[in-house]
Amino acid sequence: MSLDIDYYELLEVERTADDAALKASYRKLAMKYHPDKNPGCDDSEARFKAISEAYDCLKDPQKRAAYDRFGKAGVNGGAGGFGGGNGADFGDIGDIFESIFGSAFGGGRQQRGPARGADLRYDMEIRLEDAFTGITREIQVDVAARCDTCDGSGAKPGTQTNRCSTCAGHGKVRAQQGFFMVERTCPTCQGAGEVIADPCNTCHGEGRVDRRKTLTVNIPAGVDEGTRIRLSGEGESGARGAAPGDLYIFLHMARHKVFEREGTTLFTRAPISFTTAALGGEIGIPGLDGRMHDIAIPAGIQSGKQLRQRGAGMPVLNGRGHGDLVVQIDVETPTRLSARQKELLCEFRETETGEECPASQGFFGRIKEMWDDLTD
Report the 10 Å Cβ neighbour count for 249. Answer: 22
The C-alpha atoms of residue 278 and residue 284 are separated, in whole angstroms, by 18
Amino acid identity, position 294: D
The C-alpha atoms of residue 165 and residue 306 are separated, in whole angstroms, by 76
- Residue 41, marked binder: no
The C-alpha atoms of residue 268 and residue 289 are separated, in whole angstroms, by 15
- Residue 57, marked binder: no
- Residue 346, marked binder: no
Of 220, 17, 261, 226, give the one whose Cα is nearest residue 121.
Answer: 226
β-bridge partners, 273: 332
- Residue 164, marked binder: yes
- Residue 189, marked binder: yes
75: Cβ–Cβ under 8 A, 6 or more apart, which residues? 57, 63, 66, 67
- Contact (Cβ atoms closer than 8 angstroms) between residue 285 and residue 292: yes
The C-alpha atoms of residue 330 and residue 133 are separated, in whole angstroms, by 30
The C-alpha atoms of residue 344 and residue 346 are separated, in whole angstroms, by 5
- Residue 357, marked binder: no
Q: Angle formed by the axes of helices 42-58 and 19-33, to 10°?
A: 160
The C-alpha atoms of residue 30 and residue 80 are separated, in whole angstroms, by 17
From the CA atom positions of the chain, what is the Rg in Å? 38
The C-alpha atoms of residue 197 and residue 40 are separated, in whole angstroms, by 46
- Give the total residue count for the chain: 376
Q: How many CA atoms lie within 13 A of 194 on its CB side?
A: 18
Binding residues: 147, 150, 164, 167, 186, 189, 200, 203
Please state the residue numbers annotated as binding site for Zn(2+). Answer: 147, 150, 164, 167, 186, 189, 200, 203
